[in-house]
Structure 1
């Protein structure tokens, strides 16, 4: 085993490599060339996230195919897990891990058992990439692994600071001398402005590498800097609340409250009390004064979910607060000033609601300053396995389990459309993990493979394979591509015709039509308004 030198001397050697005037690629390569003298390392690589969110091998040592370009990413599944969780990963024997099953031959290459150690490269909670090494399994103890992880984490963070400084240099066009690089490596970004040091730059709770999602995240970062009202639009289960939280956390208001309220299923009176507050004795049961959500969010951010469900009468009251920044509590006469950044969310077709007089046009223009459209999960190619692993890791931590997916299980998940989007995927993972009979989840563990999945039943009744697409785009357009469960599907049937057919079969009862189509009554109502279909009275 190589002689270990993981203290100050080892870090000093790494720092000396990073503060040279060589290119960033050369410096990172020299970091990897220095590590074998400090660790029993066989191979290793530094993998960096590009501006587009793609993984790119910037430096490597002993990795086959590295000369063919940065697109080849060894141990990619493990790297994805490290980046997604922002935490180190130790796999004592890669032969026993599903993360490496697709590339065991190239990794082992005639050696015995191999241990993998990977750590995130972080600066101020932002993960810029991953540093990983592997080595022959040598009976190292848990304490030794922990020592190596601590050392590699410090090395990775030093390298991450050098990378970020390099990016600042390229952006500003200003050379950074070696002395300043040395100060950056050793003083944790003291040269950056105060606001840049304190404001987070990565949204850890939004997971995915799909280009559409990446573009949305970049838009969120830009929008967060302002006080403009934002309207989050997308299907149910796409994570509108998480994006609202991201806007708040990335904004100058992040140290003030983030308050949220779901407007659906609340009467106008209850909604008014919830938002504006009430005075003692304002109505029966008002035994004390109560501040409303606007007051609680003063100086911060207020999320109004399901904004499309509020009544026309209350829309006028809400408009006044948004226009003037003033309100009175229910039963009160004192005018209160509030400073609130408003974020609204809906899956309703507000344009159709405005056209039909259900939603005030002036309120629509007030809340629709910056519209952001959240992509459904079925359009986020490649994100389902990544999300599924994150949800399973979360389940394992909460329940003290150690479950893992087989590649075949992840492949099956990838073929599902998940009409309920991320929320349904998480429920699927939790249900499967709860009922799993062994530590490894295989395709047969999923309820859809045992005729116990409602969505799967609808797909099969429409003559479609699991996760397949229906002949009509109606369900796909609304986020429920599982197809009609009790209709004879005609090829090339339009969305409008399929909806009318379902309504006629249901006697024009929206709830029955919803069951036929595999939708919710609210989504059927949305589709009827979008297609301008007049509901018949029978």
Structure 2
């Protein structure tokens, strides 16, 4: 009896290991049934799981079912156990009149097979049923087997509940991921590029075309112009949008760490490498990697970047094994790469590999007609963020229009955030930072005139683009035909006829 008891404890222990391991839900159930076969001689078995108001077979062993059968509450032996929560033992089940054989398992049974079924429950809640078919030797105790099976049923119940909770958390996480993806798509879609200037419209048209391809892109432009926004926009408008977007600032990471950051490393590759780690290229697999400030990348690493572009494979530090990666590369720089090539500070072959599709992101001084739109956008964003209702006077707006913004859009954003934080309600010129309050040598701008000149310019461009077909130009501008006619007369625009 002691040997039998030890065997039962061993079985329960093995099943506990399975249920607390890292297998999937269905694989775990399958392994439990295999243990019952291997250690206690259960020839045929299945586990049915609650589904709606009934119960459905989820895993089976020892036979090939006609289909994954469902049972209503009280239907057959399985349904009765599910309804009552009470174990059932049927000796010589094949000769029993109460065995409906809905599963088709009857053809595999002998006259010696007992059916032993126990509820899978946690607390008072029944989550499923474990059904077994076993031939008992003379020395075996049906009661002891039933007792062991009941313990296993309780273990399965806790496993079911844990799985249910994890599934709920996974669904919540998935929903959060979808919401985040949606927010990112809304933030970084083409509509997130704010501006109506000719330079921005040209940029948007180019980004739309580039996003559909898988080519390498090189973003050129001054600091603060929004190159990272353009990179994200390309990614989220591309077929890779569901995959990772990984950013690496080549200027912010020390040279001795950048290689490990990009390509990863194996355990023991250097002092402190206690475990293997994936690099940014592996993490971006299937998606896009954005190499910001590529002009600051050390020459020693440029050859390895070139290899990724050519062969689409990498090697971790401390490993000779190559790893294939499917990654789109977008690089950005505020430096003159051609000049760096001439000075021997940037590889010529890498420059031409990166420069497949160059995109110039214009500075703010080249798109000044977009400044009012950007100011309104940032005012709205920071007012919402800080719970304020800050607005600019006409004079303050004019002073902001006069400024050249060496820090570009990032600088404008910082200025507006500062104004919102430090002020309540109206912001006048006296509330602006000191360097913006200083009088300019050039005459003070006229905001109304500036807006009208900008609008007139946009209307003329739209008319030229549409061959002076007013209905098409109105649609392009977002006006009604009547609104366009009013503005054509107001600004004295000549409508050419062909």
Task: Report the structure, 1 or 2, having the larger helix content.
Answer: 2
TM-score (norm 1): 0.46
Which one has a bigger Cα radius of gyration? 2
TM-score w.r.t. length of structure 2:
0.50
